Chain A
């Protein structure tokens, strides 16, 4: 009877980690390992900047060309694909570099914290708290890196085209490809920035998920035995 009652009370009073506390802990963890966090974030920044620069660069270039074609002679131009085939591999490469870089950074950050994870589990943390904390950390880094990367990538695309097209780029401004490119595909500068941010976050979470789940599943004693 008494055993039954105790089991019930154990079930009723759940272990918890409020989301706001989880965010606070992740944020603090990033702040204290500042340089390590900055390097991971830079990795994401470069990957996303590359991705955004390639796509937006194409969009802007196509807009400039379409504008020139119209001015010189208004012959109907042939529609080019939004991303030329020879550049598709560049985009894919940049994404792979992103995922590998982030996975590697997360793997290191998880491995050097096995003892910490074991300790947390001794204090009552559930596996999903550990996963949540690591995924929060990586998506915070992903978000920061992706926003900065999208801005850097867009500026880079503008500068390159400004150099190549000179003042004709300014003539394009009244029909600047903000939302769609010349083919009407949603690859204008604004949606590409949004895509960059989402991709950056997603890559950060995907890259961190493997190491985070593996670490969370470790029994507390085993996690603490690991000497790093």
Chain B
């Protein structure tokens, strides 16, 4: 895996929301390349456009102007079915509010994307249980989300995101609903997966704990990329940034 192997690239991405006569420029010309195997954090104040960019990169929404390429394919040129296929097979999503299906057990949540991908029941159960034990919930597979703590639910969500061996896992504020300690555990788990399974991770966050584990940090402000910093640069600046953003 070469360091310059690009998984996702956004080129001149704009997103406008029309609210009556007013136009909100949520994204204002974003250019960004995401490399295979890296841990990338999107940082920025509330309302800066992190979630909007997350949706564009994740093939969940289309830009008003500009293009998003995932594995070299232009998202604007795909049919609904192809987009669904990409969401199912190439992407894994983790959300702030976990978004597990409450009628299903942990195992069923993890295996749902595998049903869509066409795996057999036996393959699904095997892989589902394996993923749950990777995230440390091997013995809780039969529990429903209401029987799990927030941190455990987020672990199930992480296992589900990995269901179909995605090229990239996107996490939008995965620690925002968790206490500091649990948040730290989730971040460590994501980092571990990033290193051991070589999954590309893109995480939108306010959480400064994320800085330690990120290979690169992209700072977003008012829908623009303010600056991009690599790991070694962050370590020098982390103190002053912590002061600046708290």
Contact = CB atoms under 8 A, between A and B. Distances in A.
Interface in B92-114: 93, 95, 99-104, 112-113
A183 B41 CA distance: 78
B85 A14 contact: yes
B80 A6 contact: no
A21 interface: yes
9 contacts: A3-B74, A7-B73, A13-B117, A15-B81, A32-B103, A116-B102, A123-B116, A124-B85, A124-B89
Interface in B27-64: 55, 60-61
Interface in B69-96: 71-74, 78, 80-82, 84-89, 93, 95
Interface string A3-38: 100110011011111100100010011001100000
A180 interface: no
Interface residues of B, number: 32
Nearest to A123: B113
Given A10-B85, A124-B85, A219-B61, A28 B116 contact: no
A118 B87 CA distance: 12
B178 interface: no
Please provide the 8 A-B residue pairs with the shortest distance between their CB atoms, ordered closest to farther. A124-B88, A124-B116, A123-B113, A32-B103, A119-B99, A10-B82, A124-B87, A29-B103
Nearest to A122: B93
A127 B234 CA distance: 43
A125 B87 CA distance: 9
B160 interface: yes
Contact of B101 (A16, A18, A119, A121): A119
A221 interface: yes
Contacts of B193: none
A80 interface: no
A118 to B, nearest CB: 8
A73 B48 CA distance: 92
Interface string A48-70: 00000000000000000000000
A202 interface: no
A28 B108 CA distance: 11
A78 interface: no
A119 B104 CA distance: 13
A33 B146 CA distance: 14
A124 B113 contact: yes
Contact of A7 (B82, B103, B113): B82
A126 B71 contact: no
